[in-house]
Chain A
């Protein structure tokens, strides 16, 4: 009779192990790969995201009077009127009557830094991406402005004919195979369970996966020790496909961003995200 107690415990334990195996096997079948061992680290980083430092720096840069014209960016219009940042990012890219173009967050920042503050366009483009020896104002500013829409849903509207034009162009670019490797975006981002090395690739034909992507850019990239913006993500994808360099704030990059952000509509913005 004394053995009943421990025996019962042991069988419960065995039951738990068995249930665990079934769960693990189910997950492996569904995803075609073992559970993500990086998830724990990502969760830790999400709670203490170093990207917050870029939000802080971006806010200082936004308010400070800078450049040859000694002006702040507080008069910059991101689509909801000069100085209104709350929610502005959720509608980008959008058509701007003052430039007659569809613009994304970074191209709009570029325009304001040139026109309001008098910075040299070429110089900003040259320092658009930081490296270990030099910070980028663009990365910090984009992170700050986007973070002002945190908690709101991505809501690209495509009301203007030019916006629909850019969307169609972006869709075309997303699916069109090109370059020496004959890759399209869809080659890597159209199926479940694909990865590059250990990096899971989101299936961008699935709205929920697309929303998870869109919710978290700009993102702190651990391997780069800095925040990167969507312009950098697209530049890097483009490079990985061995295509000619993607011009910063170029029509091609904005067309792709229009397509992707629209596909990610409904995503709850949480910037800065965390990526590998």
Chain B
């Protein structure tokens, strides 16, 4: 074949005006393409096109086709695009080869986009990909190109344009297999662009469209979290409620979501739903049997603590009034219930909650002692009877105060087991009040520096500047000053 081609080329060059010269040159170009000698094929085809512009259109189309295909094969995509454009111009609208030519044109542009991507010129890549829908709108590759244009724009963090491309993509190709991917990308873009509510809405779409149950679950949860993030409370509640209803497992995530839901209800002063969620959390964890996890136990313990605190509040709110026996019985009932609730919290084996329960148990005893001391006295007592009554009340109250101190002390001693939290500190604060000599020991602060570039420190027992140590009268003066300084510098102890 090579000899034939060489002969044909010689013929065309020797007899350029021969009527068969264009035909011979066309055949040579096609043969060279078959022989995969692409540069020579392109040269021959160009010779045909340029030397015989008035040749049979079929020959010219063949020439452009050789240029187009050969250019693709040698990765000269810009030349290929040019050739396809000319080829298309010579192809009748109803020609059956037209769709393939359009696809080729689109492909030559798409490859330019890919090259720009590789060169990290994402702006050029996006422009190439977007040209396809204008220049080759019927090509099969158009939808993917639009999607890839959006990807390039995402790399540029051009959120506005990327979102516009994807929105149009989704609208124009509603049933395209990349539709769900576009929704995901939109959710991502809106989130990055700070359009959190739109991102949340897209995540809801993802959840609705996803055939993968895990993807749907994650998307729904993200939607709720996004609404929550920007305090679109009604939607956050709606989505979280739907989530916990539809996805009771994984257990931890369901309980985390219920915990957040409870917090939202609390912030909304919707205590009915707040407590309903807390009760649900405790119940779900309790019934989870072997599915229970450290996290589910922790969340349930926190919920149970809040419920127990309610019991404490009910107990503390009851005053001991006349008739004494009646109010005492009512308070004792609430006391027993509260103690049982806090005792039950210990079973969760969560250090913080155990410390809280211990603190409250001490507070229950303290509150009962205080309630006895402050109880309403009978009005019909003689002085002697009143004195006896007071003594009995104090004798009854004292052991409860002792127990309160004992329990607070045990709580504070959790420190030796390495447990320190607000409840341990609160027990210490209580102990500091009832046993100040032992526990009221706050840090002292040196106070503000007071000068931007210097700081001078003198020990409290330092003699006044210029006075030698050993002068008793002057040292005494310094002692008063030093003591005042210490008293003034005691840290407020606010924790």
The answer to whether A and B belong to the same complex is: no
Q: Which A residues lie at the B interface, using CB under 8 A? A: none
Interface of B toward A, CB cutoff 8 Å = none
